[in-house]
Structure 1
Amino acid sequence: MGIRFGLLGPLRMERDGQALPVAGPKVRTLPAVLLTAPGEAVRVDALVDLLWDGAPPRTTLASLHNHVNRLRTALGPDGARLRSVPNGYLLAVEPDELDLHLDAAQAIYAEEGVEEGLAMVLLVRALSFLKDGRLGEGLAAARGSVELFRRAEGRDNPVALCTLARLHLATGDAALAEPVFRRYAEVFRRELPSVVPTTLTGLGASLAALGREQEALEALAEALSTAEALGDRSAAAVALHTTATVHACSGRTDAARDCWTRALALARRAGLAKVTDDSLDGLESLAAS
């Protein structure tokens, strides 16, 4: 029979019909979150927010790493399925090993009125749509997630709101995105430093789109320095690529070339295909001009 995962009802992890021992609420929540996106990376910031409900401990990353190791131990010979990827984790699952995928999850949570579960599914969908460039569908999913989290938790969910802001920015509505990124950059500086670089990069891109270049460069410089302090290559690469784009749009070719060259090196090391391709395109455009 092998290993099986279940999200219908309480979380289940079984091997050959026998339940796997998973102790502690955080260790049980971790696979539940990962299984909403089977075989896909879930970012550390999303995991932290969902595991600690927006109030993470001071030792957030160490605590998360501890929970990941405990889950790997519980998975036994299948522990290698829980993989570390740049800035996140994924749980490799075959289609016949999981009793619930996103379509079914959304239908079941909607039918049963489980608003927090439905909000989480819609958030995962919104992130997936953003990655695939399906922006209209992403906006609809993110708006639904924001509203459902608000109703279920009685407060705004920062990750859902920032995802919505990223989609607004991608569709050209920087005026809606900018105040959200600005607000949560302040919140995350105090409560969740690991997502500050991504939030500040969104703020910088929004400010640049609004013609506020100096403010944009200041936000992007802080995004880069924070990412470097955290050792987050992926976030640093994205910040550098965004900075290069701002410089290039203002005709500062030397500064743009330097940023794209650095972004390219980091993106290759972090395995970021899109940032790698976009940085190469940027360098080629400078060479051709």
Structure 2
Amino acid sequence: MVEDYLTYVCVSTPNLDKLKRHFELIHPYVDGSVIVLGQRDLETENFLNTMSGVTIVHRPWDDSFRAQYQVGLDRISGGWMLWLDDDEVPSQEMLEGLRPIIGQSQGASRFDTVGFRCCDVWDGQVGEPSGYHRELLTAWNPSLRFEVDLHQALLGKMRGVSSDLVYYHHKSTEGSLRGSCRNFFTAGAWADGAESFLYWYGRTGQDPRLNPGGPLTPASEGIEFPLKDGFRIDSWYEMKEILERNHPEVKGFRDLDALIQNGTVCQEFRDWAERHNEHNDKRPHIGEMYGFDKYIKKVLSTIEEC
């Protein structure tokens, strides 16, 4: 039997404004919090230290979500965990539903993981809930571990269920571009999978990914949750060429981000970014593209009356 103690776990760069927004909403509904900060920030730490039951963990941010979440997991040894990035906020209905859901789990004997429905908030505008359910609530067990640097995967769970209670994922046009570029530098241009890659390899004779020669996952294999960061591979190939021509000093995302932040990135990249975001903001959600909502309904049980 898993105890009902609930710990809120959040990874932040840090971002004080986001953390304040989170704690005002979440703190009354949890028993404790573990906050992993990617760099030291006295103002953020002073704020967190005014809250009861908060454990602060420092780990320098290196673009590995897996590593950041793992150090948070290492501080927990029981109960349930509410996993949220610092741009994700539960709805009031979801917060009020956490305890009833935990109760329905019967000490995690019925299920130990719960996915909640995502609702994107673009530049402050609330959209419609999507078909994508993200696993945010998990019962602790000693086998849990995080893998995959990008879009971290929590392994060691036993049985999951889904709920249509909503959480909000706050996004911005600028943040989307930066996040997609970061993902490219972290994982390479997987984009459309093997088919798109083979098309461009046949046309250019080059592997445009940052991990040339790495394995490919054909879409025909029907993997359960394809990762599709942003765009077709040809767009990322174009971005790589733009950076090589105009900013040969860029070796990783932090180099590029510094240029974006201080306004010295070239106009050609700005034009590419505008085209990228025009497409990015209009694309369907990943869950809708791949029928992930149907997969959830087919494979996972559904929580009733929550």
Q: TM-score scaled by structure 2?
A: 0.27
The structure with the largest helix share of the pair is 1
The structure with the largest strand share of the pair is 2
Structure number with the bigger relative contact order (C-alpha 8 A, sep ≥ 6) is 2
Q: TM-score scaled by structure 1?
A: 0.28
